[in-house]
Amino acid sequence: MQSSAAHGWHRVALAAQELQSIASSTEFPTCLARAGRDLTGLSSAVVVAIGPRAHVVHEATGPAGEALADRESVIRSLVSRARLDSTRSVVLAADDADELDPLVRQAAALRDLGVSRLVATPVAVGEDLFGLLVLADDEPGELADDLVEQLEVLGALAAGAWQIRASMDRLIDLAHLDPLTGLLHRRAFRDRLDGWHPVTSPTTCALVFDIDRFKRVNDTFGHEAGDQLLIAVARAISGILRSDDTLYRIGGDEFVALIENVTPEIAGRIADRARVAAAETGGSISIGVASTTEERDLAAAYAAADGALLEAKKAGRDTVVLV
């Protein structure tokens, strides 16, 4: 029969495999909280991300999880201790009494929350602290030393997985971002077109625009001036869009804004605001606007808006054409 210690180490190995296989860093706190609860049998978990100057609670589960996360004095004390020593867990019980230790003085707060015991394990590699895994329970009792050791190994393995996942997410972001303007670029736009569904996706308006006579700017003033105009226009248009609208630079001086849950008429007014905003940068833009319909998916709406952009050019530029 497998010993409890051996069973615990097996759980640590399985948790490490799961943490390394997550698809996104947004899944990390939930996965880590679940691993900590499974390993220890404690009913509540809080996962805290720790940055150079601040900390943020990312996950709170179990009967006391939310209440514990909301007790900032407790979380702040645990984070402060982890910053001082990122290699060791802190174990607290509600009946601890040490007036000289500011952390132990939080025992009264634990009693108020109905927490009988708590363990806080740094998510760290050496002195590089990424977060904190806090586990708690309303059942009294001591945590075995080997269980605390397993938590500390889990914390170190989790930190490594967290670091790798964050780096991968950053690479994915860079692969989808235009390095000049910081906007999403053509690949991300194609993914958006491919992911649009006529049943589950909202009505979406496409605003396709480019900078009028952009080649003349490059030829007359140089490519550095052209780049600065692209950046200025991107910022100006971003400034008039809503937070849930998306702006893409899909190539050269061509951009697409996708706007959800508006009528074509409202999209036309937004396009005119974009035209005015671009003019304030010293350039001008022509815009084609089209919306998805029952017969027209997002790719077709983009094609229609692109055609409307050509009509706007023919109409004299610095104008909006809605189809």
Residue 115 lies in a domain: yes
Q: What is the pLDDT of residue 97?
A: 66
Based on the domain organization, do 257 and 190 belong to the same domain? yes
Q: What is the pLDDT of residue 2?
A: 55
Q: What is the pLDDT of residue 303?
A: 97
Based on the domain organization, do 14 and 124 belong to the same domain? yes
Q: Judge whether residue 1 has pLDDT over 50.
A: no
Q: Which domain holds residue 255?
A: 184-322
Length of the chain: 323
Task: For residue range 242-268, list pLDDT tens digits in order.
Answer: 988 999 999 999 999 999 999 999 999
Q: What contacts 158, CB < 8 A, 6 or more positions away?
A: 15, 16, 19, 28, 32, 35, 123, 131, 133
Q: What is the pLDDT of residue 43?
A: 95
Q: Judge whether residue 195 has pLDDT over 70.
A: yes
Q: What is the pLDDT of residue 100?
A: 56
Based on the domain organization, do 35 and 127 belong to the same domain? yes
- Say what percent of the chain tops pLDDT 90: 73
What would the two tokens of residue 76 be?
Answer: 């702040």
Task: For residue range 143-182, list pLDDT tens digits in order.
Answer: 899 999 999 999 999 999 988 888 887 776 777 889 899 9
Residue 24 lies in a domain: yes
- What distances in angstroms separate CA 276 from CA 35, 87, 237, 280, one per listed residue? 53, 57, 9, 7
Q: Which whole number is the average pLDDT over 285-306?
A: 96
Q: Count CA atoms within 13 Å of residue 30 on its CB side.
A: 6
Q: Which whole number is the average pLDDT over 111-138?
A: 92
Query: Is-catalytic flag, 253?
Result: yes
Mean pLDDT score of the chain, rounded to an integer?
Answer: 91
Q: What is the pLDDT of residue 127?
A: 85
End residue of a domain, out of 105, 137, 172: 172
Task: For residue range 39-84, list pLDDT tens digits in order.
Answer: 999 999 999 999 888 899 999 999 999 999 999 989 999 999 999 9
Q: Strand, helix or coil at 104?
A: helix
Q: What is the pLDDT of residue 114?
A: 86
Q: What is the enclosing helix (H) or strand (E) of 179?
A: none
Partners of 206 in the β-ladder? 258, 290
pTM above 0.75, yes or no: no
Based on the domain organization, do 239 and 136 belong to the same domain? no
Top pLDDT among 2 and 249 is at 249
Which is it for the CA torsion 96, 98, 101, 106, positive or negative? positive
| Given 245, 253, 272, 318, the catalytic residue | 253
Residue 178 lies in a domain: no
End residue of a domain, out of 172, 200, 228: 172
Report the Cα 276 to chain-centroid distance in Å: 32
